[in-house]
Amino acid sequence: MPGKVGFIGLGAMGGPMALNLVKAGFSLVVNDIDEAKSRPLKAKGAEVAGSAQAVAAAADCIIVIVETTEQAEAVIIGAHGIIRGARPGHIVVCMSTIDPFTAQSIADRLAAVDVAMIDAPVSGGTGRAQSGELSVIAGGAREVFEKCTDLFAAMGSQSFHVGPLGSGLAMKLVNNMLVQVNTVAVAEALVLGVKAGLDPQTIYEVVRVSTGTSAAWELRVPRIIAGDFEPGGTIDISYKDQELETAFAKRLGVPVLLANVT
């Protein structure tokens, strides 16, 4: 188990993830650009730091889960970033969904000052972030991953080491692309069936035990039938992820026609 753990980014995903770490007995020092988001953690005994640099100076392992690639760069290697406060032997766990090539560049900068990094994005949404049942998908040195497994167990029900640094992000983008494309297909199929005169509940029951089923079908259709359109996230983040997917595919020379349509 690491010593003090730093946690930067206390939004819809990061907030409950950090709370689960506190519940598991980890000593936390936290930071968020919105000071109000630190209050629930402070109430549970976490320290609050005024910058990413201050978090790094107080912790041995620093988790980052901010929204964008640009934010991750600023928090980790910016003017008041982790790199300014971290010491040799520290570990940065980048759990943000960001560009894999940029993640490698950030890791190289950290390695130059003897700070290790792994990319470890999560899948499961806000509900599983709250329940501690996320999937953690990590890339980086195996020995660094092994040092973080206690942390991952407190935040998720499964953790995977999928290859060298950047592999966790590549895997996350593959997964996100599939669920986004499937979600559009689910909406089109359901409307088609209803317009054909089929009962939506019947459509759901038949498809879920047939070859057309998917996680998107199981998750989305009951909520659509119930008229429950409460968002589990924001459109700008979903759009950001889709831009990452298509840009990553372009860099690799892979045509992703459905992802572009979605």
Q: What is the CATH number of the domain that holds 232?
A: 1.10.1040.10
Residues 143 and 233 in one domain: no
With 90 as the cut, is the pLDDT of residue 3 above it?
Answer: no
Return the ∠ at Cα 73 (arms to 162 and 160), rounded to 5°.
15
With 80 as the cut, is the pLDDT of residue 232 above it?
Answer: no
CA distance 88 to 110: 9
CATH code of the domain containing 61 = 3.40.50.720
Q: Which SS3 state, helix, strand or coil, does residue 231 take? A: coil
Domain region containing 83: 5-164
Q: Is the dihedral of CA 19, 125, 69, 111 positive or negative?
A: positive
CA distance 152 to 133: 10
Q: Is 250 a catalytic residue?
A: no
pLDDT digits (tens, 9 = 90+) for 75-94: 999 999 999 999 999 999 99
Q: Write down the catalytic residue from 172, 195, 240, 250.
A: 172
pLDDT digits (tens, 9 = 90+) for 189-213: 999 999 999 999 999 999 999 999 9
Residues 62 and 177 in one domain: no
| DSSP E strands, the chain | 5-8, 28-31, 47-48, 61-64, 91-94, 116-119, 122-123, 134-138, 156-161
Last residue of a domain, one of 164, 193, 208: 164
